[in-house]
Amino acid sequence: MLHTSLDYILVRSFPECAIMLLVGCYFLNLKISIGTLCKKTLMLGIIQSFIRMLPISFGIHTIIGMALVLFILVDVSKDSFMNCIIALCKLFLCLILSEFIYISLLTNVFNVSRNALVNNYTIRGAFYTLPSLIILVLLAFVIEFIIKKLQEGSIVKHNE
């Protein structure tokens, strides 16, 4: 069970949910209205906050969170389930890489204590980790750029 404060949920969890949904929509080439984004973010944030309070291990929280994001993407996109799974995989790859890059940067370059970043569910911990969301968005653009370049290259080779 994770013990997160309401401040942490408001400052970290809801922005993370909004960005995850936006990046998922980006990977699916969807346009989403602000109203729909706010509703889905609120729903995802509340459900994930309750899941984090359950007495289950952290890895299970992540898998359930992935399933929630998947079902919301399927609902919003009306796209094929497989395309939504691919978008979800890209999204969580970006999330994992962004957290790794951010924690490595702060601990190794700026000598910030790992304890200040990991398992810190206070308002200060929420603010410390917000920049990793910017890294997540940047990684999404980079991954999509690389995938498009690879697809263009394979189309050119296929047509020759």
71-106 pLDDT, tens digit each: 999 999 987 899 999 999 999 999 999 999 999 999
What integer pLDDT is reported at residue 160 of this predicted model?
59
| Residue burial 103-138, b: 16+ Cβ < 10 Å; e: rest | beebeeeeeeeeeebeebbeeebbebbeebbebbee
Token output for 71: 């079902």
pTM: 0.88
**Phi, psi for 78 (deg, rounded to 5):** 60, 20
- In the prediction, which pLDDT does 120 show? 76
- The string of pLDDT tens digits covering residues 104-143 is 999 999 898 887 777 777 888 888 889 999 999 999 999 9
Dihedral angle computed from the Cα positions of residues 140, 58, 118 and 27, in that order, rounded to the nearest 10 degrees? 10
What pLDDT was estimated at residue 1? 55
